[in-house]
Homo-oligomer: A and B are copies of this chain.
Amino acid sequence: MYQLVIANAEVITGAASFPADVGINGERIAAVGMGLQGERVVDAGGCYLIPGGVDAHVHLQTPVAKYVSSDDFRSGTVAAACGGTTSVIDFVHPQPEQPMLDALAARRAEADGRVVIDYGLHMNIPVWHADHRLDRIAKVMAAGIYSFKMYQAYGPLCLDDARLYEVLRALARHGALPILHSENGPVIDRLRSEALAAGHTAPIWHARTRPATLEAEAVGGALELARQAGAALLIVHVSCAESLDRIAAARREGQAAYGETCPQYLFLTGDKLAGEHGERFVCAPPLRHETDHAALWGGLARGELQILSTDHCPFTAAEKAAEPGFDGVPGGLPSIEARLGLAHDAARRGLLSLSRWVEICCTGPAHLFNLPRKGHVAPGYDADLVIFDPRCPVEVSAQGLHERVDWSPYEGLHLTGWPRDVFSRGEQIVRDGEFVGQAGRGRFIAIPPVERAGRPAGLA
């Protein structure tokens, strides 16, 4: 007799799918079996039961230029939960002169009372910390941080090759996971200046000044540096076929190279920037082409890319349109709620298997970021579970979503399949699509170090 049984589901994991019941005691899964008895029983007949989604790349209540991303830790995690995501990983942004541990404490203070699901944090390594604070990595890791993010773009955040190499070396020594925003920022800055000087201020120039070649060039260079440094490396928000090719080639050489992509690079093209409200679609790297969509789906299906995150960073339509030129638009798109639904619809259309869907959205990110007890349907794991109705028709609209933003890049898109009920550590927090949990119930996930972070591709 289990405290809670989710019965009659088609369980889908990264390895297989099969009909079963799941028994839950307290916060954990106690059994996966046939005919389990429960004090409470939730019938999931006709639905999939999958591990709660893990979105390893979100930016909640995050300052960008003079704006702050419009989802705070409460509204953002509510939207995530309604979309079937039960863990997110956000970022710590240490300021100049601010010790990393202080920044971590401050960031946790922003999140802890608000989050409705569990969350982890990546630590940013800006220039100043790259130069002077690498000796603090061990302490930061002891405080529950496993992954550190660097940038090859964005002015003051941008690490040059020598600094990037130095940080990669330091992270490799400590067994931390380096993650990287990879675009050739300095050259992009020149292209932007040239475009603006020539009066090209329309949103499409955001894409024209960030060509795929400059992303791929940065990715290729960073992978060589990681090889030289003996470090693993995750390239985030891979947007184009050329970057994928570099990652796949590094993996074929045995390197511990990983890649993440996001729904916007799989469903939207740069044409959006040339249309009405083009400014809303400003994000970096920019939206690309349909040929890139096809390449990236292939990369996800074959395992050359391991995870699908959102880079969720919403701004309101008014904020997006406040400045006249593309360089004044706060960058970022909302995607946190539709991620599983979008990817399921692609699986339904044959672009990847259902197991691979679960792998890239749930199990893969939990595994890659070493989240304890997350991402799988098996005894001992946290009872983070999603009852997903594969036949539910959905028309995506800002109004229907729980994100705190008044537009959606997927507005009007018809999908089949959406989360019905969501459980976080055994507690039901979404019922029939509506949030029923409490703010602040989520917990910080302290991530322990991994024995061998720089393990070769294929061993993740």
Contact = CB atoms under 8 A, between A and B. Distances in A.
Nearest to A458: B301
Most chain-B Cβ atoms within 10 A of its Cβ — which of A35, A224, A375? A224
A378 to B, nearest CB: 5
B254 A11 contact: no
Given A16-B363, A34-B380, A353-B459, 6 more contacts: A15-B16, A15-B376, A18-B381, A20-B379, A30-B34, A161-B187
A457 B161 contact: no
Contact of A214 (B30, B213, B224): B224
Interface string A344-378: 00000010110110010001000100000001101
Nearest to A354: B459
A13 to B, nearest CB: 5
Interface in A17-52: 18-21, 23, 30-36
A225 B187 contact: yes
Given A11-B378, A36-B31, A186 B162 contact: yes
A231 interface: no
A434 interface: no
Interface in A54-110: none
Given A213-B228, A225-B187, A459-B352, A18 B165 contact: no
Nearest to A187: B165
A414 interface: no
A252 interface: yes
Contacts of A458: 298, 300-303, 352-353, 356
21 contacts: A14-B16, A15-B359, A15-B363, A16-B363, A20-B378, A30-B35, A31-B32, A32-B32, A162-B190, A211-B228, A213-B228, A216-B224, A217-B224, A252-B298, A254-B298, A301-B457, A302-B457, A303-B458, A353-B455, A356-B458, A356-B459
Most chain-B Cβ atoms within 10 A of its Cβ — which of A15, A32, A367? A15
Contact of A15 (B14, B21, B187, B211): B14
Given A30-B34, A302-B458, A184 B213 contact: no
A211 B353 CA distance: 30
A367 B459 CA distance: 21
A184 B211 contact: no
Contacts of A23: 33
Contacts of A381: 18
Contacts of A376: 15-16, 18
A227 interface: yes
A427 interface: no
Interface string A190-216: 110000000000000000000101101
A175 interface: no
Interface string A146-190: 000000000000001110011000000000000000001011011
Given A32-B31, A34-B380, A459 B20 contact: no
A125 to B, nearest CB: 16
A431 interface: no
A459 B20 CA distance: 23
Given A162-B187, A378-B11, A459-B350, A217 B220 contact: yes
A433 interface: no
Contacts of A30: 33-35
Nearest to A456: B301
A221 interface: yes
Contacts of A443: none
Contacts of A190: 162, 165-166
